[in-house]
Amino acid sequence: MLTLETFDLVLDIILKLISIALLVFAFLLLRNLDQAIQKLESSLGSMERSAETVEDVVAIMRKIPFVGGRIKRD
């Protein structure tokens, strides 16, 4: 039969294996989160550069007659 000491040892081993698996899972999750944040930062930088380019183009277009803004009449 299974003694109490053997049962305790089996439960202890199972608990330690679960703890190690959770630590590995947490490490992998944090690593993937770090990679996702880095990709997000590069995407935001790209969007910011695109917005600045659009702003420059709009500023140039406003200076062109018949395309840009309204003609100011005093």
Please tell me the distance from the alpha carbon of residue 64 to that of residue 50, in angstroms, as a whole number: 22
For 11-57, the pLDDT digits (tens) are 999 999 999 999 999 999 999 999 999 999 999 999 999 999 999 98
Binned at pLDDT 50, 70 and 90, residue 64 comes out as: confident
Binned at pLDDT 50, 70 and 90, residue 69 comes out as: low
Residues near 65 by beta carbon (within 8 Å), at least 6 away in sequence: 71
The pLDDT assigned to 67 comes to: 65
**Residue 65 identity (one-letter amino acid):** P
CA torsion sign for 11, 17, 21, 22 is positive
